[in-house]
A and B are shown apart, each in its own frame.
Chain A
Amino acid sequence: MLLINCPFCKNRNETEFVYGGPVGVKRPDPSLVSDEEWVDFLTMVPNPMGPVYERWWHARGCNKWFIICRDTVTHEILESPSDEP
Chain B
Amino acid sequence: MSHNRLKSGGRIDRSKSLSFSFNGKIYQGFEGDTLASALLANGLNVIARSFKYHRPRGIIGSGVEDPASLIELLGEEGSGNNLCTTVKLKEGLKAKSINCWPSVDFDIGASVQYFEKLIPAGFYYKTFMWPTWHLFEPFIRIAAGLASAPKTPPKTGHFESRNAHTDFLIIGAGPAGLLATLMAARSGAKVFLVDQNTEAGGSLLSLNLNINQKPAMVWVESVVKEITNMPNVTHLQDSTAWAYREHNLVIVNEREVENVSIIERSWRIRAKKTIIATGAIERSLVFPNNDRPGVMLASAVQTFVNRYSVKPGNNLVIFTNNDSVYSYIKDLTRAGINILAIVDSRKNIADSVLVDAKNIRVISNSIIKNVNGYKKVNSVVVQSLDDKEVETISCDLLAHSGGWNPMVHLHSQSRGTVKFDDRIASFVPEYSAQNSINIGACNGTFALNEIFDETELLLSGASENSKPLVYKGKLECSKQSYSIEALWSPDLSKEKNKAFLDIQNDVTHDDIQLALREGYSNVEHVKRYTTGGMGFDQGKTGNINIIGVIAKEQGIGLDDVGTTTFRSPFTPVSFGSINGVREGSVALPFRHTPVTKWNLDKGAFMYEAGARWRRPGYFPMPGEGFQEAVNRECHAVRTGVGVYDGSPLGKFELKGENVGEFLDLIYTNIMSSLEPGNGRYGLMLTDDGLIFDDGVAFRIDKHRWFISTSSGHSDAVNQHMLKILAFDYPEWDVKITNITSQWNNATICGPQARKLLKKLGTDMDCENDSFPFMSFREGMIANIPARVIRVSFTGELSFEVNVSPRNMLRLWEKIIEEGEEFGILPVGSEASHVLRVEKGFLSLGHEVDGTVDPYDLGMGWLMSKKKVDYIGKRSVDLRRSSGKVRRELVGLLPNDPNEAIPEGAPITPSGKKVATEGFTTACVWSVVNNRWVGLALLENGRARYGEEACVRIKDRIISAKITKPVHHDPDGKLLRS
Contacts and interface: CB of A to CB of B under 8 A. Distances in A.
Interface of A: 1-3, 14, 18, 20, 26-27, 29-31, 35, 38-39, 42, 55, 57, 59, 63-67, 73-77
For this complex, into which size category does the number of interface residues on chain B fall?
20 to 34
Nearest to A63: B722
A20 B415 CA distance: 24
Nearest to A20: B723
B728 A39 contact: no
Interface of B: 245-247, 249, 268, 270, 415, 433-434, 687-688, 715, 719, 722-723, 726-728, 868-869, 873-875, 878
Nearest to B715: A59
A42 B874 CA distance: 11
12 contacts: A3-B246, A18-B719, A30-B873, A42-B688, A42-B875, A59-B715, A65-B722, A65-B727, A74-B433, A74-B434, A75-B246, A75-B415
Given A3-B246, A39-B878, A75-B415, 9 more contacts: A2-B246, A3-B247, A20-B719, A30-B874, A42-B688, A55-B723, A64-B726, A65-B727, A75-B246
B869 A76 contact: no
A55 B727 contact: yes
A18 to B, nearest CB: 6
Which of B727, B728, B873: most chain A CB closer than 10 A?
B727
Contacts of A55: 723, 727
A35 B876 CA distance: 12
B810 to A, nearest CB: 32
A18 B716 CA distance: 11
Contacts, number: 59
Q: Which 4 A-B pairs have the closest CB atoms?
A: A30-B874, A65-B726, A3-B247, A75-B246
Given A42-B687, A65-B727, A76-B433, A1 B719 contact: no
A38 B415 CA distance: 37
B415 A73 contact: yes
Contact of A29 (B247, B433, B722, B869): B869
B869 A65 contact: no
B878 A38 contact: yes
B433 A30 contact: no
A18 B722 CA distance: 12
Contact of B722 (A30, A39, A42, A57): A57
Nearest to B729: A27
Contacts of B434: 74, 76
Contacts of B270: 3
Contacts of A65: 722-723, 726-727
A25 B450 CA distance: 55
Contacts of B415: 73-75
B579 to A, nearest CB: 15
Contacts of A57: 719, 722-723
A85 to B, nearest CB: 20
A38 B723 contact: no
Contacts of A39: 878
A31 B869 contact: yes
A65 B874 CA distance: 26
Contacts of B869: 29-31
A3 B727 CA distance: 22
Which of B246, B433, B719, B868: most chain A CB closer than 10 A?
B246
Nearest to B730: A65
Contacts of A73: 415
Contacts of A66: 726
Contacts of B687: 27, 42
B878 A1 contact: no
Given A3-B247, A76-B433, A38 B875 contact: yes
Contacts of A31: 868-869, 874
B879 to A, nearest CB: 10
A66 B722 CA distance: 11
B264 to A, nearest CB: 20
Contacts of B688: 42
A32 B583 CA distance: 53
B476 to A, nearest CB: 40
A55 B725 CA distance: 13
A1 B249 contact: yes
A73 B434 CA distance: 12
Nearest to A4: B247
A35 B689 CA distance: 14
Nearest to A38: B874
Nearest to A26: B728
